[in-house]
């Protein structure tokens, strides 16, 4: 605890102005003490001017008054890192919510701060270094089993320089507070090590050798993403869309099916009802990778829209810090933030109370740099031991009225590598996932040949153009060639870009199945076809579409799957006239 003290001289919403009697630092944590109840309200310094500072309070400021004492800790806002994080549900300050509910009852009380990790549980520690070994920050000194993972115990990241292992406990069971090793620096000063340590959440963890360009696709088993709009491990993506377009459901689907080791969900200002749905469903879901509960490799940081706005910022940074921690173990981590718009709104609210010069739509002028700083903490890194670890960050954005031109969406699009724009038109038409295949884009390489994807996108785009034209001139005023392009675009959208999340076979599609089915879809798009009239063309495509949908609903490589495949193949050959569209020769199936 710092010797510096302060007193409250002003309160504006969840911001308090403090007069201090000593030195304080930006982002330092302090506690406002309510004299009657002795309740201590956690706060963080966000501006310093002379002998005064402004603090954002992570609790309701009800009953805070002039003259209340403030105690400063001399420490920054930190997260505790160690075994026992997986499966936890935290608030933005890393308080475990289930235990908080047990202690506080139905209504969470102010001033209660619990240990993030269980300090009584013993962990089976296995040492990987011995006395006399040389180590530095981020190096492994041992491991403990955590669910299905080998949780690495590391030298704290802030210990720069070279250290010598003075002693280390033999294999045994220890709590996170017991000393398991002792190291000395070059001056001979000794430092005890435990299974856990603390790290400032607003400082990126950078104990790695090199940051790499993301190249390996992150398989989500969602066709429109893996094929059309791929995400890379260590990359960034955003999912803007109007309310009710399916952002939260899409993120939940990705967290269930993505090819990653750990999933961290930050509900930073999301509506409480959607958070409750996540909390109820995840413990009951079976992880296809382990056959156990999905929650065993998931961490949820829960800060709903009814909680204090300052906690939204804390929840975002706490979540990304935990993600970086598991990346240091050589794991692939997916971090999802829902929704960054409400985090930005919290920044706008605090900026207004600080009386800063507003930017566009009253958001702070530093909105873009703050959002960029958050997404920059993603990445694929090569660790000091040669292992690779990744953090993939995906943020949902909730622009008012679905307007993608608003500041938060535009600031996000400038820094992410993938844009999964959700469409009101598609969600109203029950086309899920409601990602717009033309407006959206990706800078990454997926599981399908980019030439084939570009050709499919061209056919789809032309089909949409014809559809718009038909709304004016009608079906009768459309040429047969244009009408065929329209049917092909509708077919591609229905059988490949849309996906049935309630079907056991279609809910998650492996890359092998995607590539296999895509060759048949491309056969339809690339082949020339001849029909007697538009009615026959429409009827044949309707039948083919239903066959494809039935095929999508069969389990991969079963006799039923192969039977449906033959039926689809036969019908495609019956519809084709032997020619191919210009520029599609390289797509011929079998080449």
3-class SS letters over 376-405: CCCEEEECCCCCEEEEEEEEEECCHHHCCC
Contact 235, 243 (CB under 8 A): no
pLDDT beyond 90 at 513: yes
The stretch 507-522 carries a mean pLDDT of 95
* Region label for 168, one of left (φ > 0), alpha (ψ between -120 and 50) or beta (otherwise): beta
Q: How confident is the model at residue 267 (pLDDT cuts 50, 70, 90)?
A: confident
pLDDT at res. 329: 97
Between 347 and 587, the higher pLDDT residue: 347
pLDDT at res. 590: 46
The stretch 500-527 carries a mean pLDDT of 93
Contact 298, 85 (CB under 8 A): no
5-76 and 123-195 agree in CATH topology: no
pLDDT at res. 166: 96
Answer yes or no: is 501 a known binding residue: no
Buried b (16+ CB within 10 A) or exposed e, 15-25: bbbbbbeeebe
Answer yes or no: is 246 a known binding residue: yes
pLDDT beyond 60 at 228: yes
Q: What percent of the chain has pLDDT over 90?
A: 78
What is the three-class DSSP state of 85?
coil
The CATH architecture of the domain made up of 450-587 is Orthogonal Bundle (1.10)
Residue from 308, 248, 305, 303 nearest 278 by CA: 248
Check residue 50 and report its DSSP letter: T
pLDDT at res. 271: 67
Q: Looking at 17-26, 283-292, 321-330, 454-463, which range is the least confident one?
A: 283-292
pLDDT at res. 273: 65
The stretch 10-37 carries a mean pLDDT of 94
pLDDT beyond 80 at 276: no
pLDDT at res. 587: 62
- The contacts of residue 200 (CB under 8 Å, 6+ apart) are 27, 76, 77, 78
Alpha-carbon span 235 to 393, nearest angstrom: 7
pLDDT beyond 60 at 589: no
Residue from 107, 117, 53, 48 nearest 79 by CA: 117
pLDDT at res. 142: 97
Answer yes or no: is 245 a known binding residue: yes
pLDDT at res. 299: 95
Helical spans, DSSP H, in 145-228: 223
123-195 — its CATH code? Answer: 2.40.50.100
Alpha-carbon span 70 to 79, nearest angstrom: 22
Answer yes or no: is 344 a known binding residue: no
The stretch 222-239 carries a mean pLDDT of 96
Contact 290, 86 (CB under 8 A): no
pLDDT at res. 557: 93
Choose the CATH number for 90-105+209-442 among 3.30.43.10, 3.50.50.60, 3.10.20.600, 3.40.50.300. Answer: 3.40.50.300
Answer yes or no: is 374 a known binding residue: no
Q: What percent of the chain has pLDDT over 70?
A: 97
The strand ranges marked E within 224-318 are 236-240, 262-268, 298-303
Answer yes or no: is 450 a known binding residue: no
Alpha-carbon span 76 to 534, nearest angstrom: 69
Residue from 148, 103, 225 nearest 498 by CA: 225
Helical spans, DSSP H, in 328-361: 340-353
Q: What is the sign, positive or negative, of the torsion defined by CA atoms of 95, 97, 101, 107? A: positive
The stretch 104-130 carries a mean pLDDT of 90
pLDDT beyond 80 at 305: no
Across the chain, mean pLDDT equals: 92
pLDDT at res. 585: 64
**Distances from the Cα of 206 to the Cα of 30, 97, 382, 511, angstroms:** 27, 29, 11, 33
| Domain-wise residue ranges, the chain | 5-76, 90-105+209-442, 123-195, 450-587
Between 585 and 139, the higher pLDDT residue: 139
How many other C-beta atoms can be found within 10 angstroms of the C-beta atom of residue 403?
10
Answer yes or no: is 127 a known binding residue: no
Angle between helical axes of 534-552 and 480-492 (0-180°, round to 10) = 10
Residue from 519, 518, 521, 504 nearest 556 by CA: 504
Choose the CATH number for 5-76 among 2.10.10.90, 3.40.50.2300, 2.40.10.170, 3.10.580.10. Answer: 2.40.10.170
- The contacts of residue 256 (CB under 8 Å, 6+ apart) are 285, 294, 508
pLDDT at res. 272: 64
Alpha-carbon span 444 to 368, nearest angstrom: 23
Whole-model pTM: value is 0.94
- pLDDT one-digit tens code per residue, 355-408: 999 999 999 999 999 999 999 999 999 999 999 999 999 999 988 878 899 999
pLDDT beyond 60 at 62: yes
pLDDT beyond 60 at 591: no
Answer yes or no: is 548 a known binding residue: no
pLDDT at res. 289: 76
- The contacts of residue 222 (CB under 8 Å, 6+ apart) are 250, 253, 254, 257, 433, 499, 508, 509
Name the strand (E) or helix (H) holding 52.
strand 52-57
Check residue 226 and report its DSSP letter: I
């Amino acid at each position: 605890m710092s010797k510096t003290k302060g007193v409250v001289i002003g309160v504006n919403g969840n911001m308090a102005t403090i007069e201090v009697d000593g030195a304080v630092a930006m982002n330092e944590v302090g506690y406002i003490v309510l004299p009657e109840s002795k309740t201590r309200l956690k706060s963080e310094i966000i501006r310093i001017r002379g002998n005064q500072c402004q603090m954002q309070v992570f609790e309701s400021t009800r009953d805070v008054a002039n003259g209340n004492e403030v105690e400063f800790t001399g420490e920054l806002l930190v997260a505790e890192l160690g075994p026992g994080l997986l499966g936890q549900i935290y608030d933005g300050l890393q308080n475990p919510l289930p235990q908080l509910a047990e202690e506080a009852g139905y209504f969470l009380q102010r001033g209660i701060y619990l240990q993030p990790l269980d300090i009584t549980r013993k962990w089976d520690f296995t040492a990987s270094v011995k006395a006399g070994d040389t180590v530095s920050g981020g190096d492994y000194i041992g491991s403990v089993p955590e669910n299905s993972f080998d949780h690495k115990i590391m030298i704290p990241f802030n210990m720069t320089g070279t250290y010598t292992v003075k002693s280390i406990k033999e294999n045994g069971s220890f709590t996170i507070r017991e000393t398991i090793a002792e190291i000395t620096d070059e001056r001979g000063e000794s430092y005890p090590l435990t299974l856990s340590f603390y790290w400032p959440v607003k400082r990126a963890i950078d104990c790695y050798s090199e940051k790499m360009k993301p190249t390996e696709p992150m398989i989500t088993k969602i066709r429109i993403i893996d094929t059309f709009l791929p995400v890379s491990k260590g990359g960034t993506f955003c999912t803007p869309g109007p309310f009710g377009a399916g952002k939260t459901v899409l993120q939940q689907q990705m967290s269930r099916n993505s090819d990653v080791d750990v999933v961290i969900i930050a509900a930073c200002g999301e509506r409480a009802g959607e958070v409750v749905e996540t909390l109820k469903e995840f413990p009951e879901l079976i992880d296809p990778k382990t056959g156990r509960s999905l929650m065993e490799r998931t961490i949820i940081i829960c800060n709903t829209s009814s909680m204090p706005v300052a906690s939204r910022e804390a929840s975002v940074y706490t979540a990304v810090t935990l993600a970086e921690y598991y990346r240091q173990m050589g794991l692939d981590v997916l971090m999802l933030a829902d929704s960054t718009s409400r985090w930005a709104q919290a920044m706008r609210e605090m900026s207004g109370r600080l009386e800063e010069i507003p930017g566009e739509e009253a958001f702070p002028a530093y909105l873009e740099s703050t959002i960029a700083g958050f997404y920059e903490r993603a990445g694929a890194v090569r660790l000091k031991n040669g292992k690779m670890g990744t953090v993939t960050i995906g943020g949902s954005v909730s622009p008012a009225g679905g307007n993608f031109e608003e500041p938060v969406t535009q600031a996000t699009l400038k820094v992410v590598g993938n844009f999964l724009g959700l469409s009101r038109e598609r969600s109203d038409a029950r086309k899920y996932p409601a990602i717009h295949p033309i407006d959206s884009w990706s800078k990454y390489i997926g599981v399908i040949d980019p030439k084939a994807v570009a050709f499919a996108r061209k056919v789809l785009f032309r089909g949409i153009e014809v559809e718009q034209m038909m709304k004016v001139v009608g079906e009768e005023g459309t040429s047969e060639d244009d009408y065929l392009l329209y049917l092909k675009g509708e077919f591609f959208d229905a059988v490949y870009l849309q996906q049935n999340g309630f079907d056991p076979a279609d809910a998650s599609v492996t890359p092998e199945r995607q590539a296999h089915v895509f060759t048949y879809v491309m056969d339809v798009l690339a082949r020339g076809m001849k029909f007697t009239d538009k009615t026959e063309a429409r009827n044949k495509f309707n039948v083919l579409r239903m066959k494809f949908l039935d095929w999508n609903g069969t389990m991969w490589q079963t006799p039923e799957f192969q039977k449906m495949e033959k039926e689809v193949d036969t019908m495609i050959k019956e519809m084709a006239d032997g020619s191919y569209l210009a520029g599609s020769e390289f797509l011929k199936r079998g080449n």
